[in-house]
């Protein structure tokens, strides 16, 4: 009989210890952790979370958002006919002469082809809203 009580006591103590340990782990995981570096950023008036950033950096109406025009223009440059004709923007440095030197007739032709191939993108960049606002 005494052996049964001891075994039950040991089981009860083991269960109590396991529950206490589990409670500490859960409390440690759920307790808010304050990072002093993050708090220093907040003290300076800057956002420290995505939610704070979204509230801090206000949305711009699409009609005034310069970034949208740039994104559309760059998409045209990346997949446009410039890559199909063999003269891409990455090769522009091969076309342009060194500072102080004139363009050769061949380079002028290549540059004219490149500009013509990207006319749509250049128009978009030129028509970007003058608000200067973007997000």
pLDDT digits (tens, 9 = 90+) for 73-94: 888 875 444 444 444 566 677 7
pLDDT in tens, 96-124: 888 888 888 988 888 888 888 888 888 98
- What average pLDDT does range 46-59 have in this prediction? 90
pLDDT at 88: 58
For the chain, the structural domain boundaries read 2-56, 62-126
Average predicted confidence (pLDDT) for the chain: 82
In this structure, the number of other CB atoms found within 10 A of the CB of residue 80 comes to: 18
Task: Report, as an integer, the average pLDDT of 31-40.
Answer: 86
Give φ, ψ of 4 to 5 degrees.
Answer: -65, -45
Q: Is the whole-model pTM more than 0.75? A: no
Ramachandran angles phi, psi of 41, nearest 5°: -65, -45
CA distance 133 to 66: 6
């Amino acid at each position: 009989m005494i052996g049964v009580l001891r075994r039950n006591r040991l089981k009860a103590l083991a269960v109590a210890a396991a529950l206490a340990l589990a409670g500490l782990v859960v409390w440690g995981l759920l307790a808010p952790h304050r990072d002093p570096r993050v708090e220093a950023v907040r003290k300076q008036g800057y956002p420290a979370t995505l939610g704070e950033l979204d509230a801090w950096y206000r949305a711009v109406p699409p009609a005034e958002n310069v970034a949208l025009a740039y994104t559309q223009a760059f998409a045209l440059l990346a997949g446009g006919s410039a890559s199909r004709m063999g003269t891409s923007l990455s090769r522009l440095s091969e076309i342009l002469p060194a500072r102080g030197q004139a363009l050769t007739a061949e380079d002028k032709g290549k540059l004219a082809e490149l500009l013509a191939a990207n006319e749509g993108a250049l128009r978009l960049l030129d028509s970007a809203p003058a608000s200067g606002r973007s997000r």
